[in-house]
Amino acid sequence: MNITQFFLILLARSKIILITLFSVVGLTMLVALMLPNSYTASTSLVLNYKGVDPVTGTALPSQLMPGYMATQIDIIKSKTVALKVVDEMKLTESQGMRDGFADAGGEASGVSLRDWIATVISGGVDVEPSRDSGVITISYKSADAKFAADMANAFARAYQNAAVELKVDPSQKASDYLNAQIKTLRSNFETAQRRLSQYQQEHNIDNADNRLDVESARLNELSSQLVVAQGMAIEANSRERAASRNAGESPDVMSNGVIQGLRSNLATAEAKFAEVAQRLNVNHPQYQSAKAEVDKLRANLNQQIGLASSSVRSNARIQQQREAEIQAALTAQREKVMQLNLARDELKLLSNEVQTAQRAYEAAANRYTQTSLEARSTQSDVAVLNQATPPLSPTGPKTLLMLVLSVFVGGMLGLGLALVAEIMDRRVRSSRDLIEALNVPVLGVLRQERGAPRLGMMRPILPST
pLDDT, tens digit, 9 for 90 and up, residues 189-237: 889 888 888 877 777 766 655 666 777 788 788 788 878 877 877 776 7
Residues in the chain, total: 465
Between residues 352 and 395, the one the model is more confident about: 352
User: Dihedrals φ, ψ of 105, to 5°?
Assistant: 70, 35
Tell whether 422 and 452 lie within a shared domain.
Answer: no
Coil, strand or helix at 388: coil
- Residue 160, pLDDT > 50, answer yes
Between residues 457 and 117, the one the model is more confident about: 117
Q: Do 133 and 98 contact (CB within 8 A), yes or no?
A: no
User: Dihedrals φ, ψ of 202, to 5°?
Assistant: -65, -35
Mean pLDDT of 353-358: 88
Between residues 357 and 341, the one the model is more confident about: 357
- Per-residue confidence (pLDDT) for residue 457, from 0 to 100: 40
What does the CA dihedral 56, 58, 62, 63 come to, rounded to 10 degrees?
Answer: -50
Please enumerate in sequence order all residues whose Cβ is within 8 A of that of 247, keeping only pairs 6 or more positions apart, or say none.
Answer: 253, 305, 306, 308, 309
**pTM summary value:** 0.53
Alpha-carbon Rg for the chain in angstroms:
63
Type of residue found at 397:
P
Mean pLDDT of 429-446: 64
What Å distances lie between residue 204 and 33, 193, 336, CA to CA?
101, 16, 13
Q: Considering the domain boundaries, does residue 411 fall inside one?
A: yes
> Can you name the residues that pair with 121 across neighbouring β-strands?
none
Q: Considering the domain boundaries, does residue 130 fall inside one?
A: no
Query: What CA–CA distance (Å, rounded) separates 349 from 452?
Result: 125
User: Dihedrals φ, ψ of 135, to 5°?
Assistant: -100, 135
- Per-residue confidence (pLDDT) for residue 429, from 0 to 100: 60
Distance of CA 16 to the CA centre of its chain: 73
Which pLDDT band, with edges at 50, 70 and 90, does 84 fall under?
A: very high
- Residue 4, pLDDT > 50, answer yes
Q: Considering the domain boundaries, does residue 67 fall inside one?
A: no
- Per-residue confidence (pLDDT) for residue 49, from 0 to 100: 65
Q: For the chain, what percent of residues have pLDDT higher than 70?
A: 77
Tell whether 442 and 413 lie within a shared domain.
Answer: no
Q: Which domain holds residue 436?
A: 428-465
Q: Which of 359, 360, 373 is nearest to 175 (CA)?
A: 373
Query: What CA–CA distance (Å, rounded) separates 409 from 18?
Result: 12
- Per-residue confidence (pLDDT) for residue 459, from 0 to 100: 43
Q: Considering the domain boundaries, does residue 302 fall inside one?
A: no
Mean pLDDT of 54-58: 52
Mean pLDDT of 183-194: 88
For the ranges 129-138, 185-194, 244-253, 324-333, the lowest mean pLDDT is seen at: 244-253
Query: What CA–CA distance (Å, rounded) separates 47 from 382?
Result: 5
Query: What CA–CA distance (Å, rounded) separates 28 from 328?
Result: 119
- Per-residue confidence (pLDDT) for residue 447, from 0 to 100: 61
- Per-residue confidence (pLDDT) for residue 58, from 0 to 100: 59
Alpha helical stretches, state H, 136-207 = 145-203
- Residue 68, pLDDT > 50, answer yes
Type of residue found at 423:
I
What Å distances lie between residue 134 and 59, 381, 413, CA to CA?
18, 11, 45
Structural domain count of the chain: 2
- The continuous run of DSSP H or E covering 275 comes out as helix 257-279
* 3-state DSSP percent of the chain in helix, strand and coil, to 5: 70, 10, 20
Residue 397: asked if its preceding bond is cis (omega within 30°), the reply is: yes
Type of residue found at 129:
P
- Residue 411, pLDDT > 90, answer no
Q: Do 429 and 77 contact (CB within 8 A), yes or no?
A: no
Mean pLDDT of 175-185: 87
- Residue 32, pLDDT > 80, answer no
- Per-residue confidence (pLDDT) for residue 302, from 0 to 100: 74
Mean pLDDT of 130-143: 87
- Residue 27, pLDDT > 70, answer yes
Coil, strand or helix at 440: coil
pLDDT tens, 304-324? 767 766 776 777 788 788 888
Q: Considering the domain boundaries, does residue 339 fall inside one?
A: no
Q: Classify each residue of 7-29 as buried b or exposed e, where b means 16 or more C-beta atoms within 10 Å of its C-beta.
A: ebbbeebeebbeebbeebbeebe
- Per-residue confidence (pLDDT) for residue 70, from 0 to 100: 84
Please enumerate in sequence order all residues whose Cβ is within 8 A of that of 300, keeping only pairs 6 or more positions apart, or say none.
Answer: 262
Type of residue found at 404:
V
**Side-chain half-sphere of 70: how many Cα atoms within 13 Å?**
5
- Residue 139, pLDDT > 90, answer yes
Which pLDDT band, with edges at 50, 70 and 90, does 434 fall under?
A: low
Query: What CA–CA distance (Å, rounded) separates 458 from 441?
Result: 20
Query: What CA–CA distance (Å, rounded) separates 140 from 124?
Result: 5
Q: Considering the domain boundaries, does residue 211 fall inside one?
A: no
Q: Considering the domain boundaries, does residue 214 fall inside one?
A: no
Query: What CA–CA distance (Å, rounded) separates 282 from 191?
Result: 102
Mean pLDDT of 286-305: 78
Q: Which of 28, 11, 2 is nearest to 418 (CA)?
A: 11
Q: Considering the domain boundaries, does residue 20 fall inside one?
A: yes
What Å distances lie between residue 272 and 161, 178, 275, 280, CA to CA?
137, 113, 5, 12
- The continuous run of DSSP H or E covering 459 comes out as strand 458-461
- Per-residue confidence (pLDDT) for residue 250, from 0 to 100: 60
What Å distances lie between residue 175 and 184, 205, 373, 375, 421, CA to CA?
14, 40, 9, 7, 76
